[in-house]
Amino acid sequence: MLRKIRREACCIIILLIKYISFASTMKLRNFCYRYALKSMGDSNITDGVTIVHPGKVSIGNRVSIHPYTYIRGEITIGNYVAIATRCSFIAESHNFAEVTTPIKLQGIEDQPISIGNDVWIGAHSIILGNVTIGDGAIIGAGSVVTKSIASYSVAMGVPARVVYNRKNSRDLHEKNKQ
Ligand SMILES: CC(C)(COP(=O)(O)OP(=O)(O)OC[C@H]1O[C@@H](n2cnc3c(N)ncnc32)[C@H](O)[C@@H]1OP(=O)(O)O)[C@@H](O)C(=O)NCCC(=O)NCCS
């Protein structure tokens, strides 16, 4: 009961200071997020970030989530993850099988997203549901990620395609550029 009240109070404080970017406000916001989210380590959620279902979100240590990112549904984020400005994580989808019923009335399906450790997600990227992004992967700015991305891959574009792997294919990537 006490936990629930604390979580609600933290959510209200987060709402009140959502768009304030001062360093002191950041500290208070991150403190509140630690109680509002399912779990959160020593990480930094900046101003203007929207987390629709805080109780479904787990964030590790040394994660930074930059302004105006939007997170909806169940998402797990590892450690040392950099999420640039205006990314979207959409971990749920409308059902739309019926054409005679409005889509809005057909219910919503959970489609969890998982982000590994040491991942960098470029600005304005969209990560769709049921996607796992492996450790060390990079997602180029403006990508739409519709499928899981293997560890250490560098993926970009709409839909995002893997262009090379940081561990073993940098040379191939360089060759392709010539
Ligand atoms: C993904 C990224 C890291 C790739 O870096 P890189 O490996 O050095 O790639 P290059 O700049 O050599 O580009 C390689 C090719 O991919 C293309 N490309 C690069 N980034 C792209 C992107 N985001 N979307 C689509 N294509 C992209 C380039 O045009 C180039 O194409 P070409 O071979 O036909 O000329 C970088 O382009 C990027 O998007 N960084 C994110 C920046 C960001 O959002 N920062 C936020 C602040 S933290």
10-45 pLDDT, tens digit each: 999 999 999 998 888 999 999 999 999 999 999 999
State pLDDT tens for residues 102-144.
999 999 999 999 999 999 999 999 999 999 999 999 999 999 9
Q: Is the CB of 162 under 6 A from ligand 1?
A: no
Enter the pTM of the model.
Answer: 0.93
CA of 140 to the centre of ligand 1 (A): 6
Return the structure tokens found at 2. Answer: 């006490």
- Looking at the structure of the chain, the number of domains it has is 1
Q: What is the DSSP letter of 58?
A: E
Q: Residue 14 maps to which CATH number?
A: 2.160.10.10
**What is the extent of the structural domain holding 79?**
2-177
Active site residues: 94
Burial 72-101 (b: 16+ CB within 10 A, else e): bbbbbbbbbbebbbbbbbbbbeeeeeeeee
d(CA 102, CA 106): 7
Q: Is the pLDDT of residue 170 over 70?
A: no
**Looking at ligand 1, which residue's alpha carbon is closest to its atom 21?**
140
